[in-house]
Every structure is written in C-alpha cells, then in structure tokens.
Amino acid sequence: MCEGKGIPKEPQDENINGCFPKRPILDIERAIRYLCKSEKQKEMASMKLLHVASLAVAMSIALNGSAQTYSEKIEQNPDRAGGVYHYYEYVPTQMSKAPKGYKPFYISHYGRHGSRYHSSARMFEGAKKVLERAEEAGILTDEGMLLKRQVDTLWNEHLGMFGMLTERGAAEHKGIASRMFENYPEVFEGKNDRSDVECVSSYWPRCLVSMANCTSVLQSKSDKLRFHYVTGPKYLNYISMDLDTKEVSMEADSLCHEMRDRTIDCDRFMKALFTDQEKAAETVENPQDFMEQTFLAGSISGCTISHPGIFSHFTVEELTAEAQQRDARLYYVFGISKERGDYEASIAKPLIEDFIAKADDAVKEGSTRAADLRFGHDVGLLPLIGTINIKGMEERWSFDEIKSHWTGFEMIPMGSNIQIVFYRNSRNDVIVKILYNDRETSIPALTAMDGPFYRWDDLRSLMVEKADAIPDNYIVKDDANKERTGVSGM
C-alpha cells in the first residue's frame, strides 16, 4: 500500500537473522513525511507520533514490570544499547501535587542537546571501509550485504551533518519545553513581572539549535516572557568546563579493551557476515574493532531519519556486552567513579555554584527571573548529577562494579535534563522538586519535606557543601584570548 503511494522500499527494514521485529512506528513516520505537504503539518504529525510512541513505551514498561535485567531492557528495545547515544525516551508519569499553599514560581534547568549525528567520521568509518573491501573481495553473505547497505545509508545521511542536531533531537527539546509549560504554567504567566528567561548555551551548533527549539515552544505559549540568549567561552567555564581528561580516557580505554576481550566473542558475528573466514581474516585487521565500530554505527542509528536496523545483526547478548563496556568507559571518565571521581567532580563545581547563585537571586522579593535554562553536553550534566548524588548516582562505583548498577541509556541519553522547580507559599517559605528526564527524582542523602519536595535551604546547603569539598586545583577557565571552536562535549 505504501509502495503504491510511491514511498521507496528501504533495504534497512529487511531482517535477515530475525533477531528483532521490524519497527512499524518508523514506517508510519516515513509515510507522514511523504504525505504531509507542509513543514508545519509534518511537525505536528511527528509530535503526535512521538506522543503515541511514548505511551506505547509506558504501557510496555507497566506490563513488563520495572525489575528487568539490562539484557531484558535491551531486548525490549535494542536501540537502548546505544547508551549515551540513545534517543530520549519520554515516559508519561503522574506529577505529585505540591503541599497545600505552595505554588511554582521559578525553574532552574540544565539540558543536554537532543539527538544528534555522530561527531566524527572516525566513529564508524573503519567499519564502512572493511565492508567495502569485503564486497570487492566477494566475501559478503546476504546479511553482510544488507549491513553494508545500512552502513552506507547511515554514512550518506551523516555527510555534511557530523555532530549536528537531528530532526528527532529538535522534537525532543520541543517536547521537553511543552511539558515544562503544561506542568508549571504559573512559572511562565508573567505575574508580578516575573517574565525573564535567561538562556545560556554551549556554542556548539547542536546545543544552540536545541536551545532554539526549546525556547520557541515557550515563546509560542506565552507572550509575557522576555528571553535573553547568551553563549561564549566564559559561559563554557561552567556549562561544560573543559577539564583535561586525556589521561583518564586512556585508562578507561585500557580497561575497556580488557573487558571487551573477556566478554565479547566475534566468531558468530564474523561468520554471519563473511562467506570465507580465511579471506575475512585478511580483510578485517581487527575483528573486535570492526565489531565495535559496527556497534557504534548502530548506536546512533535511532537518532537519525533513516534509522537503519544495524543492531539487528547482533544478538541480545552481544549488544549487552558492547553496551556495558561503553557505559563503563563513560562512567569512569565523567561519572564520578571510585577511581577518578575526585578529579571529575571539578567539572561540576562551577555549575553547582551557578545554580546556587542564580537561585539566590530568583528567590529574592522583586526578582523578575522566571527560569534559567542551560544547554550543554553529557560531559557537563553527568558530573553534576553524580556530585549532588541524585537517585541512580547516589554511590560511587568502581570500573568493575559499573555494569551491575548503571545504564547509560537511562541516566544520560540524548536530551537528558535536570529541572529544579521552586515553589513558595504566602509566608515566603521556599521548597523545591527535582525532575530528571521528565520524572520526579530524589537525593537519597537528603531528608524530604513531603514526598518528592525538599526545603530549598536544605538542598542549597547540600549543594554548597558538595561544591566547597571540591578543590580548585583543576578548575579550568578560558583565558586563551582568541576565538574558540568548542569543547570536547558529546
């Protein structure tokens, strides 16, 4: 029926080994893009589709229960193996009512950019070249030929767009902003001239475009707001401080290679793709590297328009093993690990201090600030949530412990965000609620006032204590006195 309408058949929807079913949501999305004539129609239809998909995810989670293993979560949605590259999964949830007499008046936010393209060709160019050589040598199986077409599709979509926000990433930030407004309309109604929204962004394009999509929604919903946009090196000093992590990254790479060699066997993968294993050994210099680069291609696929099913060539066990070693690397370098957490926490100190200073101004009588919105990277957000110890980051784990406690797709996917919502009553008592990725969360070390609500004085004291405990030895400030092109954010 779709082909009758002229929608081209996509080879990436074929399923050679039957590991995972086709994704009907993607077929619907392709149809929407073809049938809707105007960009506005496409945008509205896509937003409705994302809402329907989110409801489906929520129902699936409710039916399957929450006590799933990592492998079961990946089997439910293989794209989750992408970890830090996984798209934003919004799950509708009921928000708690504030204690009697309290109304929201200010939001302090930090959001990672939305879904993007891989930042560099090196992420999967090696796999692309291996498949090209294998095709020339005539040793690709039917499944190998399918994988090559899928990688080529992904590569072609990346050309001219490396590191840039995808359409999905734009929709993610529009959705986050829409829910922010719907859940806390009082914050944005401009009462008593509280109408200023300060928007600070990393100057990488993916962050700036994320900011534009987020604020365009708020602007469309309220004509009372005054938006102020800033970016520049001095703001990166706290949005995503450029700590030198080369040594830590090298340590993590060494540990990950050892973990990979222990837990990942390439034999099945290679036999599925190549007809002649002797010739394959000549073509593929390092099977582990080839398998990992193919995995990295698949990890970003869900963020793209074409969404080729590269992960269908992996078993659930292989996806889990690859995902766990990638998660372990990220957590070791930026997640306040047992081994390196004291060093990595330096990234969080300026950001914590910014949250405190801006909140102090916002709670003052006569303040015109409605919200502080910050747009940055995972390498800014992850140290922050690890330092203030929100749920899921309340302990420090060693490299070997990470896989038993922490998943990248849940804790730091594309579009990850923290929102601290401030409430006050007629006596000017101020309380706060913390949202992480659109869900109420907690700080286990802090005593709550009521449900998910904390006294601002208590949270502020904890944040001051955490920041003061971090020495200034490794704090980095931009003093190069020249134009910068950005930080090594992800």
Q: Encoding tokens for residue 289? A: 């590297």
pLDDT at 360: 98
With respect to residue 27, please indicate whether it lies within any of the assigned structural domains: no
pLDDT digits (tens, 9 = 90+) for 413-461: 999 999 999 999 999 999 999 999 999 999 999 999 999 999 999 999 9
Distance CA(459)–CA(465), nearest Å, equals: 10
Q: Where are the alpha helices (DSSP H) in 204-266?
A: 205-221, 233-239, 246-263
Structurally, the chain folds into a number of domains equal to: 1
Query: C-alpha distances in angstroms, 89 versus 57, 293, 410?
Result: 8, 24, 9
Distance CA(195)–CA(222), nearest Å, equals: 10
With respect to residue 249, please indicate whether it lies within any of the assigned structural domains: yes
Best CA proximity match to 375, nearest among 167, 180, 161, 198: 198
Outline where DSSP puts E strands in 303-368.
Answer: none
The pTM score is: 0.86
Half-sphere exposure of 440 (CA within 13 A, CB side): 15
Give 29's pLDDT tier (boundaries 50, 70, 90): very low
Distance CA(322)–CA(314), nearest Å, equals: 10
Q: Which of 38-47, 144-153, 253-262 has the lowest mean pLDDT?
A: 38-47
With respect to residue 58, please indicate whether it lies within any of the assigned structural domains: no
Amino acid present at 397: W
Q: Is the pLDDT reported for residue 330 higher than 70?
A: yes
Q: Which of 46-55, 353-362, 382-391 has the lowest mean pLDDT?
A: 46-55
Give 477's pLDDT tier (boundaries 50, 70, 90): confident
Distance CA(233)–CA(328), nearest Å, equals: 30
- Region 201-216 average pLDDT: 97
- Region 335-346 average pLDDT: 94
- Region 72-96 average pLDDT: 97
Give 475's pLDDT tier (boundaries 50, 70, 90): confident
Distance CA(298)–CA(301), nearest Å, equals: 5
With respect to residue 300, please indicate whether it lies within any of the assigned structural domains: yes
Best CA proximity match to 390, nearest among 422, 427, 352, 356: 352
Best CA proximity match to 49, nearest among 35, 65, 63: 35
Q: Is the pLDDT reported for residue 367 higher than 80?
A: yes
pLDDT at 8: 29
Q: Say which CATH number the domain at 464 has.
A: 3.40.50.1240
Q: What percent of the chain has pLDDT over 70?
A: 84
Q: Is the pLDDT reported for residue 32 higher than 50?
A: no
Q: What is the DSSP string of 316-332?
A: HHHHHHHHHHHHHHHHH
Domain that holds residue 190: 103-468
Distance CA(159)–CA(117), nearest Å, equals: 10
With respect to residue 387, please indicate whether it lies within any of the assigned structural domains: yes
With respect to residue 50, please indicate whether it lies within any of the assigned structural domains: no
Rg (CA), the chain: 23
pLDDT at 355: 98
pLDDT digits (tens, 9 = 90+) for 274-322: 999 999 999 999 999 999 999 999 999 999 999 999 999 999 999 999 9
pLDDT at 136: 98
Q: What DSSP state is assigned to residue 275?
A: S
Give 37's pLDDT tier (boundaries 50, 70, 90): low
Check: CB of residue 473 under 8 Å from CB of residue 239. no
With respect to residue 42, please indicate whether it lies within any of the assigned structural domains: no
With respect to residue 94, please indicate whether it lies within any of the assigned structural domains: no
Q: Is the pLDDT reported for residue 127 higher than 80?
A: yes
Q: What are the residues whose beta carbons fall under 8 Å from the beta carbon of 439, sequence distance 6 or more?
A: 91, 93
Query: C-alpha distances in angstroms, 56 versus 51, 281, 410, 413?
Result: 9, 43, 17, 19
Burial of 405 (0-12, 13-18, 19+ CB in 10 A): exposed
Q: What are the residues whose beta carbons fall under 8 Å from the beta carbon of 32, sequence distance 6 or more?
A: 42, 45, 46, 49
Check: CB of residue 433 under 8 Å from CB of residue 440. yes
Q: Is the pLDDT reported for residue 23 higher than 50?
A: no
